[in-house]
Amino acid sequence: MNLSTALLHALKDHGARAVFGLPGDFVLPFFKQLEDSAILPLYTLSHEPGVGFAADASARFSHGLGVAAVTYGAGALNMVNAVAASYAEKVPMVVISGAPGANERRNGFLLHHQTRSLDSQMAMFREITCDQVVLDDPARAPEQIARVLGNCLAQSRPVYIELPRDMVAAPCAPVPKLPAPSWDPEALQACVTELLARLATAERPMLLAGIEIRRFGIEEKVAKLARLLHLPVTTSIMGRGLLANAEAPLLGTYLGVAGDPQITHAVEGSDALLMLGVIVSDTNFGVSEKTIDMRKAILALDGQVEMGHHIYPNIPLEALVDGLLERGHSIACTPPPCRRAEYPYGLVADSAPLAPMDIARAVNDLMKQRGSFPIVSDIGDCFFTALDIEHTDLLAPGYYATMGYGVPAGLGLQADSGQRPIILVGDGAFQMTGWELGNCQRYGWDPIVIVFNNCSWEMLRTFQPESSFNNLSDWHFADMAKPMGGEGYRVSTRAELLAALDHAVEMRGRFQLIEAMIPRGVLSDTLNRFVAGVRRLQAGSGA
């Protein structure tokens, strides 16, 4: 066994199912080991941001490890934004960067791809990863790799592995798998006692589910806990799609002023809001009608539990949920009167021009007829439209909110899981990474892509309507599908959209690109409510 194969076996043992990458001379020897060993499948894409987004999506969807392998300098630094997004949204991604060998570091030349110093890249990745290592000593590599991969999973954050090219074939022992971090059972019991007491004395307890319950693979346990405690459940915006396949008393997604008023009032009026794995961010809470009283809330996030003025450190989320399941039967909370959110159905096949809500209706109708598809959304009005799609798996950078995510993430999902996604993406975001669709033909991927083409950076126009730089030209994306190995449809009416979707679903083996022409200024209902709510809150606060 050598250092590369020891690393690849360890990645597989820790839950990786594929490597996404783009090679360069500093990492070519490692790519050769990857290809020759076939321990993990390798998928290459055309630009490193796409490599990072694909690795991120594979980790999110299968709640395993995502792996991105790139060259030093130009490659790795090209991927910084994608890794930063994974860090912000708690995605366990492993970045493997090739690097100069020991002799090159000593020869006195400035090396190609080098920026300020040969250690600058490590310094930059230290800011967006939870652990880092340079594998320059095969004797220490097994315990270093075990530590870094263990931290990646335990903290559900990206890690950085720098692999000098003269080390890839060095003999190396296998990598051990470290035990999961331990915790103090007494502290856990004290935390569970106080938490259950708060729920038992509350009149309006509520459970808000966040993304950590997907990252740590405990959706079923959380659904069981909600049933056991008779707690109504909502998800945060980032947690949209959680519990989609679990049996839970799910009311819908909490969207503050932009969402269902019943859900908003139930969450904001709760006197014991149990937030499991919820990132307290502006996108999750920035549009709250009423500020949530965090002294009455219970927040379990990042391996600790806060309630009132108490903090219980080192309480892993799964340990907390297990503890509550063990003792939770004593609570019989009576859920507030709340109905499940409704979703739009029944698109009429007429010649009316298209609006984003028509796309939500069409996809909901499709899923009613043919079963659910995983939805991958970029950032733009397509993301707000995704919130009106029936509760299904949804991958989107709802908090970090980077554009360019949709298409490569959809490819990463299909590569990792084999499932065919529906990808929602605006024209602006498609201009960034939509071209990765050209890689589908090599791997047989066949996502259904719906481009919301309003020839505009429309979200920005809602905040600053007077700026003409938000006007984009019409790129005719559908015409480019065939030369790239796919099928393109340009649709402007509801009837055309339905016909294109019906045809696209039948076509397998090639990507299907539906270019939905949407008049400028026509927004989804949710984005309209979001913008109106933000304006109302700003007017109220005098911002």
Ligand X SMILES: Cc1ncc(Cc2c([C@H](C)O)sc(CCOP(=O)(O)OP(=O)(O)O)c2C)c(N)n1
Burial 341-350 (b: 16+ CB within 10 A, else e): bebbeebeee
Q: Which is nearer to ligand X, 325 or 460 (CB)?
A: 460
**What letter represents residue 511's amino acid?**
F
Is 454 a binder of Mg ion (CB under 5 A)? yes
Question: For residues 153 and 182, is the Cβ–Cβ distance under 8 A?
Answer: no
Contacted entry of ligand X, Mg ion, none for residue 64, CB cut-off 5 to 8 Å set by kind: none
Q: Which is nearer to ligand X, 62 or 377 (CB)?
A: 377
Rg, Å, the chain Cα set: 24
Least distance in Å: CB of 359 to ligand X? 11
Taking CA atoms, 162 is separated from 71, 76, 98, 133, in Å, by 10, 10, 6, 6
Taking CA atoms, 441 is separated from 411, 438, 483, 485, in Å, by 11, 7, 11, 6
Contacted entry of Mg ion, ligand X, none for residue 381, CB cut-off 5 to 8 Å set by kind: ligand X
Least distance in Å: CB of 410 to Mg ion? 18
Q: Which is nearer to ligand X, 252 or 380 (CB)?
A: 380
Contacted entry of ligand X, Mg ion, none for residue 477, CB cut-off 5 to 8 Å set by kind: none
**CA distance between the termini of the chain:** 61
Question: For residues 445 and 415, is the Cβ–Cβ distance under 8 A?
Answer: yes
Among 136, 268, 393, 458, which residue interacts with Mg ion (rule: CB under 5 A)? 458
Q: Which is nearer to Mg ion, 268 or 427 (CB)?
A: 427
Least distance in Å: CB of 431 to Mg ion? 9
Cross-strand partners of 160: 95, 132
Residue 397 and residue 374: Cα distance in Å, rounded? 15
Contacted entry of ligand X, Mg ion, none for residue 404, CB cut-off 5 to 8 Å set by kind: ligand X
Q: How many helices (H) and strands (E) does the chain have?
A: 22, 19
Least distance in Å: CB of 534 to ligand X? 11
Of 391, 357, 358, the residue nearest 373 (C-alpha): 391
Least distance in Å: CB of 463 to ligand X? 8
Of the candidate spans 192-200, 201-209, 231-239, 451-459, the one that interacts with Mg ion by CB under 5 A turns out to be: 451-459
Q: Which is nearer to ligand X, 382 or 450 (CB)?
A: 382
Burial of 182 (0-12, 13-18, 19+ CB in 10 A): exposed
Q: Which is nearer to ligand X, 150 or 434 (CB)?
A: 434
Residue for token pair 């600053």: 464
Of 401, 398, 453, the residue nearest 428 (C-alpha): 453
Least distance in Å: CB of 518 to Mg ion? 8
Of the candidate spans 173-181, 214-222, 405-413, 457-465, the one that interacts with Mg ion by CB under 5 A turns out to be: 457-465
Q: Which is nearer to ligand X, 121 or 470 (CB)?
A: 470
Contacted entry of ligand X, Mg ion, none for residue 323, CB cut-off 5 to 8 Å set by kind: none
Q: Which is nearer to Mg ion, 78 or 456 (CB)?
A: 456
Least distance in Å: CB of 536 to ligand X? 19
Phi, psi for 495 (deg, rounded to 5): -65, -45
Q: Which is nearer to ligand X, 358 or 381 (CB)?
A: 381
Contacted entry of ligand X, Mg ion, none for residue 429, CB cut-off 5 to 8 Å set by kind: ligand X
Q: How many CB atoms lie within 10 A of CB 370?
A: 10
Residues that bind ligand X (CB under 6 A): 379-382, 401-404, 426-429, 452, 454, 456-460
What is the contact mask toward Mg ion in residues 393 to 432, using x (rule: CB under 5 A)?
A: ---------------------------------xxx----
Taking CA atoms, 255 is separated from 13, 263, 368, in Å, by 38, 8, 24
Is 151 a binder of Mg ion (CB under 5 A)? no
Question: Which helix (H) or strand (E) element contains residue 66?
Answer: strand 66-70
What is the contact surface with Mg ion in residues (CB under 5 A)?
426-428, 454, 456, 458
